[in-house]
């Protein structure tokens, strides 16, 4: 199999190429079973349609079955309008491969176990030498599929797979001399958790701790632990864990023993934010800063992000991010990487302190909105300002999962929401470079879950779009 050439992954590459998009949310079964409808996350990555602005590029999108036809039509309509071509012309270079889904199996597993799907992908590859695979993440299964297709992928090299886990994150931050919470790596049992937590509580100013599964994500596999919990008997300690609805203590314990994890002090301050900085590490090792975000958190769960990160620490966030990204590159990280920090201070006049929290060597929650915004607005990132600049002016955006708790739109077809946005002129407007765009549209009906990307020219404008969305949703229900 040939190696991946740098020019092939460049969005502006003018030669013949085939991009194979397989955005499998590849996590362990415990993690997958904790997500409602993980198969619907695949469709967020259709922003790769933007690569079709190059007339010699072909896109094969391998997506779990379940994507609603009306949502795909919505995405294709937007993409064709932006590319200034007909939908029929777009479909000449866009191949949608629908993969039969099995409950609690990842898209990647379903592809590997379906020779008909593998043959369909192979038959649509114009030239393997001018093709590559874009994954959501890189695990050994992704490497296996790459070999099976005879096409290179853009992602972590095998020796860099440890970057996925929380213990690996702590290791890299320490090597980069970035301050991290006090804690312990490579913890493999609930007894170890209790022991390490009690050691942390003996340290000054530790009032709460947190245990994290090494392979957890978006709040799954995290337990907060207060002092009185740690000081109780082992049985009472375990019973006090607050776990996701669908998971019991026995499942948690088995997976923690298998995957391992970390135990850390829970950082608290009067002012706390969760900034993240994104980079691309190109095939030749060049590192490019793509964006910064402030993540929107509900307790320890990620529910959205706002671009750009606060100006109070944005420059320092990028500076420290580069140091960490260089370490990741040296271990073999390639492709999109996100580096999460925590920013704390106790007084508005204090400088923010940044703490290294987690590496995300994958196209996480901030990547799809970044892709759609670049595509729709023609924005170019000015690293010195930390801002997207477009022909319409500076671009700000926010992605969020509205009304997750109440799921007001459960049972509603996505086209009802789309039509309502259009009736009110809230759908993204290409002339003014602002408006709303729906992500995760196919999961509205089964789960009432969706994401909205709000784009505008100031933070105040983004807030106004959020209010308009709320009014729009209330008019539906």
Q: What is the mean pLDDT of residues 355-362?
A: 96
Band (pLDDT 50/70/90 cuts) for residue 216 is confident
- Higher local confidence (pLDDT), 41 or 121: 121
Q: 171 pLDDT exceeds 90? A: yes
Of 87-91, 186-190, 249-253, the least confident: 249-253
CA angle 328, 17, 51 (to 5 degrees): 70
Residue 349: HSE in the Cβ half-sphere, 13 Å Cα cutoff: 0
Q: What values do phi and psi take at 281, rounded to 5?
A: -105, 110
Q: 191 pLDDT exceeds 90? A: yes
Instruction: Tell me whether strands 287-298 and 222-226 are parallel, antiparallel or unpaired.
Output: unpaired
Q: What pLDDT shows up at residue 294?
A: 97
Q: What is the mean pLDDT of residues 463-477?
A: 91
Quick one: which of 290, 283, 464, 468 has its CA closest to 373?
290
The pLDDT tens digits for 290-341 are 999 999 988 777 889 999 999 999 999 999 999 999 999 999 999 999 999 9
Count of other CB atoms within 10 angstroms of residue 335: 22
Q: 252 pLDDT exceeds 90? A: no
Quick one: which of 226, 210, 221, 230 has its CA closest to 252?
221
Q: What pLDDT shows up at residue 222?
A: 87
Structure tokens at 97: 């491969």
Q: How far apart are CA 467 and CA 417, in angstroms?
A: 15
- Higher local confidence (pLDDT), 6 or 247: 6
Q: What pLDDT shows up at residue 118?
A: 97
Q: 245 pLDDT exceeds 60? A: no
The pLDDT tens digits for 406-456 are 688 999 999 999 999 999 999 999 999 999 999 999 999 999 989 999 999
Structure tokens at 307: 């671009």
Q: What pLDDT shows up at residue 2?
A: 60
Q: What is the mean pLDDT of residues 459-471?
A: 94
Answer whether 288's CB lies under 8 Å from 282's CB: yes
Of 207-216, 303-312, 459-468, the least confident: 207-216
Band (pLDDT 50/70/90 cuts) for residue 242 is confident
Q: What pLDDT shows up at residue 404?
A: 62
Q: 63 pLDDT exceeds 70? A: yes
Q: How far apart are CA 78 and CA 72, in angstroms?
A: 10
Rounded alpha-carbon distances, angstroms, from residue 21 to 4, 51, 147: 15, 11, 15
Q: What pLDDT shows up at residue 244?
A: 60
Q: How distant is the alpha carbon of residue 97 from its chain centre?
A: 22
Q: What is the mean pLDDT of residues 220-242?
A: 87
Q: What pLDDT shows up at residue 405?
A: 59
Of 9-13, 26-30, 306-310, the least confident: 26-30
Q: What is the mean pLDDT of residues 207-230?
A: 86
Q: 40 pLDDT exceeds 80? A: yes
Q: What pLDDT shows up at residue 137?
A: 93
Q: What pLDDT shows up at residue 241?
A: 83
Q: 1 pLDDT exceeds 70? A: no
Q: 462 pLDDT exceeds 80? A: yes
Q: What is the mean pLDDT of residues 160-182?
A: 97
Q: How far apart are CA 117 and CA 108, in angstroms?
A: 11
Looking at every residue in the chain, the average pLDDT score rounds to 93
């Amino acid at each position: 199999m040939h190696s991946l050439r740098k020019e092939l992954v460049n969005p502006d590459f003018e030669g013949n190429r085939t991009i194979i998009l397989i955005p499998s949310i590849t996590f362990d079964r415990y993690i997958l079973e904790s997500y409602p409808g993980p198969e619907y996350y695949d469709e967020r990555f259709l922003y790769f349609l933007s690569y079709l602005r190059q007339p010699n590029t072909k896109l094969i999108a391998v997506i779990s079955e379940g994507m609603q036809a009306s949502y795909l039509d919505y995405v294709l309509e937007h993409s064709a309008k932006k590319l200034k071509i007909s939908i029929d012309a777009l479909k000449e270079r866009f191949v949608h491969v629908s993969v039969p889904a099995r409950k609690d199996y990842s898209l990647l597993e379903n592809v590997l176990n379906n020779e008909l799907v593998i043959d369909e992908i192979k038959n649509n590859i114009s030239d393997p030498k001018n093709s590559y695979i874009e994954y959501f993440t890189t695990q050994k299964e992704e490497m296996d599929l790459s070999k099976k297709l005879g096409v290179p992928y853009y992602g972590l090299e095998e020796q860099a797979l440890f970057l996925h886990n929380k213990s690996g994150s702590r290791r890299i931050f320490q090597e980069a001399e970035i301050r991290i919470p006090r804690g312990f790596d490579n913890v493999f049992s609930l007894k170890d958790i209790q022991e390490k937590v009690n050691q942390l509580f003996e340290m000054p100013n530790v009032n709460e701790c947190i245990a994290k599964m090494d392979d957890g994500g978006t709040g799954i596999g995290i337990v907060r632990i207060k002092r009185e919990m740690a000081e109780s008997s082992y049985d009472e300690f375990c019973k006090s864990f607050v776990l996701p609805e669908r998971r019991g203590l026995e499942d948690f314990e088995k997976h923690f023993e298998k995957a391992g994890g970390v135990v850390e002090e829970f950082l608290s301050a009067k002012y706390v934010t969760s900034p993240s900085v994104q980079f691309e590490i190109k095939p030749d090792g060049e590192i490019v800063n793509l964006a910064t975000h402030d993540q929107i958190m509900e307790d320890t769960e990620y529910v959205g992000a706002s671009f750009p990160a606060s100006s109070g620490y944005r420059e320092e966030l990028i500076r420290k991010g580069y140091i960490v990204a260089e370490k990741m590159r040296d271990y073999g990280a390639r492709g999109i990487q996100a580096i999460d920090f925590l920013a704390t201070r106790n007084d508005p006049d204090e400088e923010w302190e940044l703490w290294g929290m987690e590496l995300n060597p994958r196209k996480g929650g901030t990547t799809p909105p970044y892709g759609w915004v670049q595509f729709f607005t023609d924005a170019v990132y000015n690293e010195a300002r930390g801002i997207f600049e477009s022909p319409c002016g500076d671009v700000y955006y926010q992605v969020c999962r509205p009304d997750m708790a109440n799921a007001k739109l459960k049972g509603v077809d996505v086209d009802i929401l789309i039509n309502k946005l259009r009736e009110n002129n809230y759908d993204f407007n290409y002339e003014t470079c602002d408006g709303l765009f729906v992500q995760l549209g196919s999961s509205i009906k089964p789960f009432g879950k969706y994401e909205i990307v709000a784009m505008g020219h100031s933070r105040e404008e983004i807030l106004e779009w959020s209010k308009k969305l709320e009014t729009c949703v209330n008019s539906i229900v």
